[in-house]
A and B are shown apart, each in its own frame.
Chain A
Amino acid sequence: MKQILLINGSPKINEKSTSAMLLEQLKKSFAPAALTWQEVSVRQCASPSQRQNAFKSMSEADVIVVAYPLYHFCLPGVLMKFLEESQETLKSASREEPILFYALVNCGFPEVSSCREPARVLRSFCRQVGGEFRFSILISGGPFLLEMGETVFMRGLMHKVDSSLAVLAREIESGSRENKKDIELQPKMPKKLYLTMLHQGWIQLGKENGLKKKDLLMGQVRQNKMPAPPLSS
C-alpha cells in the first residue's frame, strides 16, 4: 500500500490553522479504506528524535502533501528549518521511484498570486532532494475559510476547495497524472469588502482583549518586560 505523509507546516501552536483544516478536508476526500496515511506537524517536532522520525517517514513516503501558509514574505521559518534539516535524510535515501510532492498553500491576502512564491520554494526543495513535484493548490482568503466557510461569502470558495482537494485525493489514490497545472482559488468578492471584513475581524479580536481600534493602531513598537539574554555581536 502507498505510504502517504501529510505535513502541516503552520507556525501556530494553540490556535486553529487553515493548513490543518485543509489537511482534514483532504483526508475526508480519500475513499474509505483505500489509503492510510501518517501525519506530521512541524510545530510538534520539537525534539531531535521527533524530527529524525519525521525525516525517516518522509524518506519512506511515496507521496508527501505539505500544507502551509504564506507567512511574512514566504514559507514559515519553522517549516524552512524542518525542510533544511530533512534534506540530508532525503538525499541519502535509496529509492526506486521519486517521492511525489504536492503543496497546499493558503494566504490571508485577497490575491491568490501571493501564494505562488511559497509554492515555488517547495518546488525548489523538491528539485534538490530528487523528488517529483506534481502540483499546488493555492488558496487566498484562508482565514475566512476557517472562520466563515459556511457563510454566503465563502460558500462558493469552500466548494471549489473541496472539489480541488477531491482532484488531489483521486490522483493520489489512482496514481494517475491527469492534472497538469497548479489550481488557484480565491474568494469572489470586491477587495474593498474583503479588507473591510478582515479589518473588522481584527477589531473584534482586539475588543475581546479590551482594546479599541485606536489601541491596535498604536504607533509604538515596545520591548517586553522579561529579562533577556545579552546579544552577541
Chain B
Amino acid sequence: MKALIITDPEHQTQSYEKLLDMVLRDLKEGNYETELVPVKLDPYGFCQGCFQCWVKTPGECALHDGMDQVIEKFIHSQKAVFLSPVIFGQFSSNIKLAVERLLPAELPFFVRADDGETMAPYRAPVMPDQLVIGYGEYLEAEDVRLFNDIIQHRKVIDHEVYQGDEKVFHSHFASFLAKAGDPR
C-alpha cells in the first residue's frame, strides 16, 4: 500500500518536524510505502483557472511543470496526507498550489451532496483517502475553526489541526488509516 505526504518546504517549523515524525512512524507501522513530496512555487506554478483540463484536454493540465507526476502519484496512492501550515485560517499558498493543481482529477459536471450543497465530483475512478493536517505555532481559535470549516465544506476529506496533543493525533490518524478506501 502506498501513502503520499505533501508538505510545504517553506514552513518546516518545530511543529512540522514533530508532526512529520509521527505521521511517518504511524504509516510505517501500518506497512505503507511512503513518499514525501515537498511542493512550492517554482518549479511548480499556480493553477491559472483556464479549465483546459475540463474542456480541451480532459484530465490533463495545460501547465507543463512536472505537477502531473505528483498527481499521478497521488491518484495511485491509497492514502494522501497534506501537512499544511495554517495561514489566515487557510492552507499555505504552497499547499494551496498542490490542492488547486488536482483540478484535472475533477469533473465539470457538479452534483448535489446529501446536504443539498453543490460540489465537483472526481474524474479518477479511484481516489486515495485524504487527510489534511494543519499546524502552526501560535494559532488563533478563529483560524483553527476556519481551517476546519473550509475542509469540512468539501465533505470527502478528513482534517484536523495539530496543536501538540499527540494522543488526539494518533487516535485520529489511526481512524484515517482504518478507513476502507474510496467507496465509489
Name A residues whose Cβ lies closer than 8 Å to a Cβ of B: 10-15, 17, 69, 71-78, 80-81, 83-84, 109-111, 113-114, 117, 120-122, 124-125, 127-128, 191, 195, 198-199, 202, 205-206, 208-209, 211, 215-226, 228-233
Q: Is the CB of A77 within 8 A of B110?
A: no
Q: Is the CB of B55 within 8 A of A10?
A: no
A224 to B101, CA, bound (A): 13
Q: Which residues of A contact B112 (CB under 8 A)?
A: 191, 195
Q: Which residues of A contact B35 (CB under 8 A)?
A: 233
Q: How far is the CB of B24 from chain A (nearest CB, A)?
A: 13
Name B residues whose Cβ lies closer than 8 Å to a Cβ of A: 35-38, 41, 43, 46-51, 54-61, 64-66, 68-72, 75, 87-94, 96-97, 99-100, 102-105, 107-110, 112, 116-118, 123-125, 140, 142-143, 146, 149-151, 153-154
Whether A80 touches B146, Cβ cut-off 8 Å, given contacts A191-B118, A216-B55, is no
Q: Is the CB of B48 within 8 A of A12?
A: yes
Q: Is the CB of B90 within 8 A of A221?
A: no
B100 interface neighbour in A12, A72, A191, A195, Cβ under 8 Å: A72
Q: Is the CB of A80 within 8 A of B125?
A: no
Q: Is the CB of A218 within 8 A of B59?
A: yes
Q: What are 9 of the A-B contact pairs (CB < 8 Å)?
A: A11-B46, A11-B47, A13-B50, A80-B88, A114-B153, A124-B143, A191-B116, A199-B109, A209-B55
A1 to B97, CA, bound (A): 38
Q: Is the CB of A74 within 8 A of B93?
A: no
Q: How far is the CB of B109 from chain A (nearest CB, A)?
A: 5
Max chain A Cβ within 10 angstroms of own Cβ: one of B90, B109, B140: B90
Whether A124 touches B123, Cβ cut-off 8 Å, given contacts A80-B93, A216-B107, A229-B43, is no
A113 to B152, CA, bound (A): 13
Whether A211 touches B118, Cβ cut-off 8 Å, given contacts A12-B50, A77-B97, is no
The residue on B at minimum CB distance from A207 is B55
The residue on A at minimum CB distance from B110 is A195
Whether A233 touches B37, Cβ cut-off 8 Å, given contacts A218-B59, A228-B68, is yes
Max chain B Cβ within 10 angstroms of own Cβ: one of A73, A206, A211, A215: A73
Q: Is the CB of A76 within 8 A of B46?
A: yes
Q: Is the CB of B64 within 8 A of A224?
A: yes
Q: Is the CB of B153 within 8 A of A205?
A: no
Q: Which residues of B contact A71 (CB under 8 A)?
A: 47, 49, 100
Q: Which residues of B contact A208 (CB under 8 A)?
A: 55
Q: Is the CB of B49 within 8 A of A15?
A: yes
Whether A216 touches B96, Cβ cut-off 8 Å, given contacts A10-B49, A73-B91, A124-B142, is no
Whether A219 touches B54, Cβ cut-off 8 Å, given contacts A73-B151, A224-B60, is no
